[in-house]
Amino acid sequence: MTLGPVMVDLEGPELRPDERELLRRPEVGGVILFARNIQTPEQLTALVDAIHAVRTPPLLVAVDQEGGRVQRCREGFTILPPMRHLGRAYDADPRGARETARALGWLLAAELRSCHVDLSFAPVLDLDHGVSQVIGDRALHSDPQAVAVLAQSLMLGMRDAGMAAVGKHFPGHGGVVADSHVTEAVDRRAWSALLDDMEPFRRMIDAGLAAIMMGHVIYPEVDPQPAGYSSRWIRDELRDALGFTGAIFSDDLSMRGAATAGGPAGRARAAVTAGCDMVLVCNDARAAAQVLRELEGYSDPAAQLRLVRLRPRNTVERKHLNAEPQWQAARRLIEQLEQPPGLALAPERPE
């Protein structure tokens, strides 16, 4: 059985019998986990193992584990600072910040891999233009050069732990005030003004980025459709102009910014037609059922191959992880970054 084009979510910390049957559907290719699914590292490992055991090849299991406001795994995991703190460190000491970023990327991925999680949807490659509240301190920096350098270090660290990086949200969510989770997001800047936003993606692609998540932002000067439904953005720009050969994920189709294509079925069809390899449907079981029916029989062998290539190369043994000098050194570097007061958790949705 191949990996299907749909990533779904689960209700709680254990895999229910009806969910196991859902995951056996050929249209399903992955599972995204949220904080409600995660209690302890041991419980998480058991849940991921149960998901992996459902199918061959195993379904991809992903989570949003960026740090700061967006960190789903917390109990028993290192609490990571917002990525903006790496940007501030870069302003003071570029070389030291790159070393810290690589250590942070390794630690993030190693702790997830020790629980057998396949992917984190990270790093954020959006620029901090000072206008987007939903991006805010999730962005590494306002300078595309700094974002590219730090993101490459994060990617290398994740790769050292055996995990592929997923850059988001192409072609850039940082220049729009609206939050695409709850409303239509429109960025009216001209093409020339978007080139800086795309620069980190271009440089990450050149460095071997394995996967990208699209944004639900409309750039009317380029295409009237949101980027995740746009063959102009996905095929012409991302694939052809930038030469990206990795996997492409949609952002959550349940978000309000995705509503321009109609209901869940229409959104899913628009995304895969435009060139997305896998679509996410979260926090809405009825919508997920509609999407699975819509994509019944859908097959894209090239997309399936790109998704299979995201499987991790190795597993980290959790019982030895905290004793490893690399883990201890990474913790010390991260502790040197300024810790934010009163850290608030992000809402339960893909980011």
Residue pLDDT, tens place only, 146-195: 999 999 999 999 999 999 999 999 999 999 886 666 678 899 999 999 99
At 108, the pLDDT band (50, 70, 90 cuts) reads very high
Rounded CA-CA distance 219/233 in Å is 10
Helix (H) or strand (E) holding 40: none
Rounded CA-CA distance 162/118 in Å is 9
At 118, the pLDDT band (50, 70, 90 cuts) reads very high
Triad 253, 69, 120: Cα angle to 5°: 60
- Give me the percent of the chain exceeding a pLDDT of 70: 94
- Give me the percent of the chain exceeding a pLDDT of 90: 85
Look up the CATH number of domain 6-40+66-335. 3.20.20.300
Question: Which residue among the candidates 64, 126, 251, 277 is catalytic per the annotation?
Answer: 251
β-pairing, 247-252 vs 278-280, is: parallel
Whether 181 is a known active-site residue: answer yes
Q: Is the pLDDT of residue 258 over 80?
A: no
What integer best gives the mean pLDDT of the chain?
93
pLDDT of residue 343: 44
Rounded CA-CA distance 164/157 in Å is 10
Q: In this structure, are residues 23 and 51 in contact, taking their beta carbons and an 8 Å threshold?
A: yes
Q: In this structure, are residues 178 and 256 in contact, taking their beta carbons and an 8 Å threshold?
A: no
Residue in the structure block whose two tokens are 């233009």: 129
* Side chain identity, residue 247: A
DSSP3 helix / strand / coil % (the chain, rounded to 5): 45, 15, 45
pLDDT of residue 18: 97
Whether 251 is a known active-site residue: answer yes
Question: Which residue among the candidates 181, 187, 196, 252 is catalytic per the annotation?
Answer: 181
